[in-house]
Every structure is written in C-alpha cells, then in structure tokens.
Structure 1
Amino acid sequence: MIPSTSRPPSASRRRRVRTVAALTGAVAMMALTGCSGFFQDDICNDGEYPVLSVGGTGSACAKDGEKVPEGYTRYPEGKVPQKVDDKWDVYWRTHTVDEKGNIVDAPDEK
C-alpha cells in the first residue's frame, strides 16, 4: 500500500479559499445587478441644483447662483431629489407643482 501524502488543509489555506470565494461572489453579484446596489448617479453635477417643470414631471439642473429657468421651479424644501432613483426622484415622477406652488398629481402621460 502506498502511503498517503495529502495532509488536511492548513487554517491559512482555508482562509485564503474562503476569501477568494467571497470575492468571486461579490464580483458576480455586481455583474448581475449592474452595481445598482452600490452606486447611484447624482441628479445634478457639482455647481448645479435640480429644478422641476411647473405642471409636468420634467426636471433640469440650473447653475448655482443663476435664476430658475422659465417654466421651472425649485423643489419644495425637504423634497429635493439628490440621487437617481432615490425616494424623491421616484416621487416626482408622479407628482408636480402647479402655478401656485401646490403639490399635485402629475397629469397622465398620453
């Protein structure tokens, strides 16, 4: 009979295998989700602030220090979207501000 030369894996080897497996899983998850759980785009670039179309769901970014463009208004305080698909970005897809500044349901898209 030939003596066995294999030994049980050492603790450091087991840790390396677990680390590689965990990293492989993280890379696979990022590939499958498109990193959506990790990164969100800003609504506007640095030096800009978001504005909402009056009576519609359109939005834009205005340069800091400049007036709000015609047909747009600032978002109500505390309800300003910061990141794409954040709570307020999603909310303003179905709501808008009327000419008097009241928050209303957005008109149906046709």
Structure 2
Amino acid sequence: MSRSGSRLTTAVAIPLAGAAAVVALTGCSLEYREDICMSDEYPVLTVNGTGSACVSKGEEPPAGYVRYPEGKVPRQVDDEWDVYRRTHTLDKDGDVVDAPEAG
C-alpha cells in the first residue's frame, strides 16, 4: 500500500475511533425516552384502572381521574412509576390497590 493510502486509512480511522469512544463513554444517554405529557401538562390516573391522561397545568383532573401521589409520578414512558402503574392503581379513597386484570 502506498503512503497516501496509509494516510487515508489513518484519516478515516481516527474519527471512527473517536465516535466509538463517545458511544462507549455515554452508554445509554443517547437513548430516546418519550415524555408522558408535554411540558405544560401533568399526568393523571384513572380511579380503579390503569388508564391515564394529561391535564393542562392549573386545571383539575376530570371526573374519574386523580393526581398521582407526590413523588410517584411517571415522567417518561417505561420509567419506574409508569411500569408500576401497569399493575397498581388508586381507588376512590386514594389507596393503592392492585389494578384490575386486563381483559
């Protein structure tokens, strides 16, 4: 291989190695996570069910919906509280109960 071919290989290899290092160092931080609601909204949970909705900040939840307990609000799809609420919900008194079976 000629010297110019060697330089070309080096010129391509260095940026590729740099890109690989960035991916390795950032790990999962490049992963896209979808927000549950838009920034001007907050999520609400159906009473005795696993359904949810987004409500404009400053508005109360509609009938049949309640706010999530403080500190237990899902922020992104598949985060800890989004997954938890697939099998747990709140009853009319605000107590945590097992979600009804889907069917």
What's the TM-score bracket when you normalise by the shorter of the two chains?
0.7 to 0.9
- Name the SS for the 1:16 alignment partner: helix
2: CA distance, partners of 1:61 / 1:87: 18
Q: Tell me the equivalent position of 2:50.
A: 57
Structure 1 stretches of 4+ moved >3 Å: 7-10, 21-24
Cα RMSD (Å): 3.0
Report the structure number with the largest CA radius of gyration: 1
2: CA distance, partners of 1:98 / 1:22: 53
1: CA distance, partners of 2:73 / 2:39: 15
Is 1:67 aligned to residue 64 of structure 2?
no
1: CA distance, partners of 2:37 / 2:45: 12
Q: 1:6 aligns with which of 2, 8, 17?
A: 2
Unaligned runs of 5+ in 1: 27-36
Q: Tell me the equivalent position of 2:15.
A: 19
2: CA distance, partners of 1:91 / 1:17: 45
Pairwise CA distance, 1:46: 1.7
- Pairs aligned (count): 96
Q: 1:45 aligns with which of 10, 31, 38?
A: 38
Larger mean Cα displacement after TM superposition, 14-23 or 81-90: 14-23
Q: 2:84 aligns with which of 56, 68, 91?
A: 91
Deviations 1:58-99 (A, max 9, x none): 000011111111000000111100011111111101110001
Unaligned runs of 5+ in 2: 23-29
Pairwise CA distance, 1:44: 0.4
TM-score under structure 2 normalisation? 0.77
Deviations 1:45-64 (A, max 9, x none): 12110000000000000111
